[in-house]
Structure 1
Amino acid sequence: MTMTIWKFAAPAMAAVLAMAVSGQVFAQDKVTVAYFLEWPTANQVAQIDKSYDEEMGVKVEWRAFGNGNEMTQAMASGDVQIAYSQGFVPFVVGVTNGAPLKLVGVAVTYAENDLCIVRDDAGITQENAKDLEGKKIATPIGNVTHYKLLRSLDHLGVDASKVELIQMNPADAAVALVRDDVPMACAFGGALDRMREVGKPLMTGEEQEAAGINTFDIVSVTEDFAKEHPDLVRKFMEVTAKANADYAADPDSAYEKVAKAAGMDLEATKSTMNNFGFPTPKEQAGENWLGGGVQEATKGVAEVMVESGNMDEALDDYSGFVDPSFLK
């Protein structure tokens, strides 16, 4: 069960990072932001309304990715400056391997929208979860979904080294589960609706949170972009905060635009967002998040990834990769 997404050969990694830290100048007339389709977030109203473009004074290009590791690679190569709702684990794996990124905010908190679904006919429950040993599980590798899966298996007494994890992005994982190629698949977003047609969660989000398995995505930026254009990063965070506040005050007015940006139908958008939380800047700056909690969690995630054999080693300290200053 080895993770290949970010285990580049040394020369290849060196080449990518050389591009990222060579002092390249970002054109101020365009900023590229990575995001996910079928992952509806409140800020997408501002995306559709082009509020980011107006407030930042630049053209903002939104580029969809399949997983958070792809976002990291695009940022390391200089193609993307900001990642919105990047998975926490891809960020941790990326910076551990030298990717020049900064975590500047919490994009969304969620639990019920990132789950592992067991086929109804598989006969596997929490009580006999060890039956998963020797079987295949479809999941994105090296992201929050993967991390939650490992934590869940450990919580239920399953030896993760005896489970065969198959790398699949959410849409493909849903297909594999429906086709009965695997007894369990893990995913996030709209793919879960299709998966629920043939099965149920191994652990609900509420059960995971009770076991200390928290779930959140982040806002990350490249170090060069944060250093050269802190005003643009700050404006991005301000526009996001306003969109989140507007959604909290009147969610019904947001759903149609969010659905359009996320590529989802209206009801699926509402259902997904009802299980999301969008922390305010004050909350994000608090001790549970960028005031200390995220830094501790980063180290904990890194250690879990090393123990599971999905990362060679963890850094001694990750606090330098977290910058709460843009929340002020």
Structure 2
Amino acid sequence: MAFRKLAGKLALAAGLITSLGMSSAHALDKITVAYFLEWPTANQAAQMDKTYDEALGLEVEWRAFGNGNEMVQAMVSGDVQIAYSNGFVPFVVGVSSGAPIKLVGVAVTYAENDLCIVRNDAGITQANAKELEGKKVATPIGNVTHYKLIRTLQHLGVDINKVKLVQMNPADAAVAVVRGDVVMGCAFGGALGRMKTVGKPLMTGAEQEAVGINTFDVVNVTDSFAADHPDLIRKFLEVTNQANTAYIADPEAVYGKIAKAAGMDLEPAKEMIGNFGFPSNEEQMSESWLGGGIQAAAKGVAEVMVSAGGLDEALDDYSPFIDASYLK
């Protein structure tokens, strides 16, 4: 399973970092932040304006990744200090496997922007979803999209072990769906629009939320960066909060910057970000989020992944890897 390979890589890399003592408190002149293209978020206006650079007093390099597992691996290797809008599942799988990272905030909430699209000519709906058994389904393995797929199929009575999952990042999944290489593709971001030209969602985001399948991305940092530069994390989250507030107050003023940073045309970016929610720092510290809700959700996600064979073992407690102090 891809999960076990990931777990092995993360555990080995974490051990190397620990043994080599790579944590250092020296002054920085640059940090690298992981993000996704075709994933427009309110903070990207600040990214374009270099507000982060000014507030943190250093160069902030924004590096695009294809999925959350790649982000976690880059953090474990020391190439990335902050992962913005990383998937919750890659975080849970990462810390379960020994990755030296922690969750310090919620980046975005969403539902309609992370879906599984069935080709129209497949004739598969929620009513006969068991017909997916034995067929190929494209999905990025080990992230929120994969987790939602598992939960969705469980809800519809489909045996996930009988579905032929094919590891594909969103862009590749969209190509496979359009060409007919797979009967269904699960993805996030701009790839969904391309898949919808030949198919429809197996379940909409609203339908998923109604049965308890919630979707959100998080802000992760490495343990060493948190220990050595807590002030930079606080400033990063403060700038993000200010950008979120500005977007909510006047979205038209920043749509253009956000679309450019996301690598999207204006109208698709506006449509997608309209389905996003950006909780304030105060909201994130509440019991629904970092005040207890996320800790419980992490345990639940881990147990689902274990039951699906994607994770060997869940941790007893995920609270040591979740820290709301940087939001204050």
* Fold shared, TM-score > 0.5 on shorter chain: yes
Matched, 1:92 2:97: no
CA distance in 2 between counterparts of 1:122 and 1:52 reads 47
- Tell me by how many angstroms 1:4 deviates: 4.8
Q: 1:185 to 1:11 in 2, by over 3 A?
A: closer
Does structure 1 conserve the Cα–Cα contact (< 8 Å) formed by 2:10 and 2:73? no
5+ residue gaps, structure 2? none
1:239 matched to which residue of 2? 239
The SS at the match of 1:8 is: helix
CA contact (8 A) 2:7 2:94 kept: no
Cα deviation code 1:33-91 (max 9, x no counterpart)? 00000000000000000000001111101001111011101111111100000000000
SS in 2 for 1:276: coil
1:18 Cα deviation after fit: 3.3
- Please tell me whether residue 135 in structure 1 is matched to residue 138 in structure 2: no
Q: Which amino acid aligns with 2:70?
A: E
Whether the 8 Å contact between 1:16 and 1:76 is mirrored in structure 2 is: no
1:226-259 per-position Cα deviation (integer Å, ceiling 9, x unaligned): 1111100000000000000000000111110011
Superposed, 1:1-328 pairs within 5 Å as 3-8=3-8, 12-13=12-13, 15-18=15-18, 22-25=22-25, 27-328=27-328
Q: Distance in 1 between matches of 2:9 and 2:196?
A: 39
Q: Distance in 2 between matches of 1:10 and 1:59?
A: 27
Query: What's the secondary structure of 2:105's corresponding residue?
Result: strand
Kindly tell me: are residues 141 and 278 of structure 1, through their superposed partners in 2, closer, same or farther at Cα, counting changes over 3 Å?
same
Contact 1:19/1:76 (<8 A) preserved: no
Amino acid at match of 2:183: P
Aligned-residue RMSD, C-alpha: 1.5
Name which of structure 1's ranges 23-32 and 76-85 shifts more when overlaid on structure 2: 23-32
Q: What is the letter of the counterpart of residue 239 of structure 1?
A: V
Inter-partner Cα distance in structure 2 for 1:103 and 1:119: 36
Instruction: Kindly state the Cα deviation for residue 20 of structure 1 after the two structures are TM-superposed.
Output: 7.8
Asked if 2 retains the 8 angstrom alpha-carbon contact of 1:33 and 1:60, the reply is yes
Q: Which AA in structure 1 matches 2:257?
A: K
Output the CA distance in 2 between the equivalents of 1:49 and 1:61: 13
Q: CA deviation at 1:11?
A: 8.1
Distance 1:54 1:11, change over 3 A: closer
User: In structure 1, what residue type is equivalent to 2:152?
Assistant: S
Cα deviation, residue 3, structure 1: 2.9
Q: Distance in 2 between matches of 1:193 and 1:26?
A: 45
Distance 1:20 1:261 in 2: 36
Distance 1:11 1:170 in 2: 26
1:100-131 superposed Cα distances (whole Å, 9 cap, x missing partner): 11100000000000000000000000000000
Q: Quick one: which amino acid aligns to residue 257 of structure 1?
A: K
Compute the TM-score of the two structures, normalised by the length of structure 1.
0.97
- C-alpha displacement of 1:10: 8.9
Aligned counterparts of 2:87 and 2:102: Cα–Cα separation in 1: 13
Within 2, Cα distance between the matches of 1:159 and 1:16?
Answer: 38
Over residues 240-284 of structure 1, what are the superposed CA-to-partner deviations in whole Å (9 max), with x where a residue is unaligned? 000000000001111100111000000110010010000011111
Cα distance in 2 between the residues matched to 1:93 and 1:20: 23
Q: What is the CA–CA distance in structure 2 between the aligned matches of 1:101 and 1:309, rounded to whole Å?
A: 23
SS at match of 1:237: helix
Contact 2:11 2:98 in 1 (8 A): no
Secondary structure of 1:6's counterpart equals: helix
Q: 1:160 to 1:17 in 2, by over 3 A?
A: farther
Q: How far, CA to CA, are the matches of 1:10 and 1:51 in structure 2?
A: 32
Letter in 2 for 1:157: G
In structure 2, distance between residues paired with 1:193 and 1:89: 23
Q: How far apart are the structure 1 equivalents of 2:9 and 2:230?
A: 33
- Alignment coverage as a number of residue pairs: 328
Contact 1:288 1:294 in 2 (8 A): yes
- Residues 191-247 of structure 1 deviation map (CA, whole Å, 9 limit, x = unaligned): 000000000000000000001000000001011111111100000000000000000
